[in-house]
Amino acid sequence: MSRQRKILLQTTIPYAEDDWHIGRFSLLADFLKSLKNGDGEHLYAVTARNFEGDRGAADPVLSTLDGSDFDQLWLFGLEVEGGLTSADCAGITRFRKAGPGILATRDHSDMGGSMCTIRGIGPAHYFHSKHLDPDESRRGRDDNVTMTVDWPNYHSGANGDFQRIKAIDHELFRRPDGSLVEYFPAHPHEGGVGVPEGDASARVVATGISKVTGRDFNLVVAFDKFVDDSGFIWGRGIAESSFHHLVDYNWNPEMGCPSFVEEPPGDQYRREPEKLKDVKQYIANAAAWLMSEPPA
C-alpha cells in the first residue's frame, strides 16, 4: 500500500465563528481526501487547522513545521492584523527549504500581509501598505463598488459565479484530455501577486480579466524546485491572488459566509455547476505538482 502524503490546510487567524475559519474550507478538504491513485488508494491525509498563536505568540505547528512529517502546506492568509509571527514565517521557510511544497493565498488590500517574510512565496504577494506592486499603475482601485475594500482589489465577478482565466500550458492547468483549465471561481476583489524580483524559479502561469476595468491581473504564480548556493533543494510553490478560489462560499454560496461580506452572490454555481470541475482539476494537479515526488 502506498504511503498517504500529508497535507496541512492552515489559516493565519484563530477560530472565530463569524470569520473565514478553516471549517469554511470543508469542500476543499473533502475533495483532497477523496483523491485516489490507480489502485483505488487514497492519496492524501489532510489536516485542517486554525492559527493557534496567542497574543503575538508563535503557532506551535507553523513555527516548527520543518520538523513535522507534512509533505505540503496550503496557507490561507486571512488576517487584517496580527497573523503569522517571525518565528512562524521562519518555520515555514525552513519547511520549503527542506523540499516540501507550499501553496499560499490571501485576498484584497493588506489581508494576509503577515506572510511577507516567507522566503520566495511571501515576496510574490503585493499588498496595500507594504510590499507594494512594483508596477505603480496598479496601485489603485479596480473594484469601485465595495468602498470598504482598498487596492489591490481586482474584480473578477460575483462570489458564486465563475471567471474565465488564461492559463499557460503547465501541469497545474492540464485536464486529462490535454486541454487547459478555463474557469475559476470569481470574486469581487482579488489581491495582487507577481514574480519576485530576481527569482528565476518563478513565473506567472495564469491571469484573469477585471470585469470593471477590463484590465488583466495575475492569478497564479508557480515556483519550480531549485538548488540554492548551499545545496539545499527548495520545494515547489504556488502563490495565488485569492483564497476565494478555494473556499466553500465560492463553490456554493448557500453554505454561508461571515456577516461582514457585503456583496450579493451570483448564481452561476447553480446554473452551470459543471464549471466547478475546472478548479477541482487544478486542485488535484496542484496537490500532485507540489510533491517533491508525485504520489504513486
Q: Give this prediction's pTM.
A: 0.97
pLDDT, position 292: 65
**pLDDT in single tens digits along all 296 residues of the chain:** 678 999 999 999 999 999 999 999 999 999 999 999 999 999 999 999 999 987 789 999 999 999 999 999 999 999 999 999 999 999 999 999 999 999 999 999 999 999 999 999 999 999 999 999 999 999 999 998 899 999 999 999 999 999 999 999 999 999 999 999 999 999 999 999 999 999 999 999 999 999 999 999 999 999 999 999 999 999 999 999 999 999 999 999 999 999 999 999 999 999 999 999 999 999 999 999 999 665 44
Go through the domains of the chain in sequence order and give each one's CATH number: 5-289 (3.40.50.880)
CA distance 99 to 147: 41
185 SS3 class: strand
Amino acid at 270: R
Beta bridge pairs of residue 49: 10
Quote the strand ranges of the chain, DSSP E: 5-11, 44-49, 72-76, 101-105, 125-126, 162-164, 166-167, 183-185, 192-193, 202-209, 216-223, 226-227, 233-234, 237-240
**CA–centroid distance for 89 within its chain:** 16
Query: What is the phi/psi pair of residue 280, to 5°?
Result: -70, -35
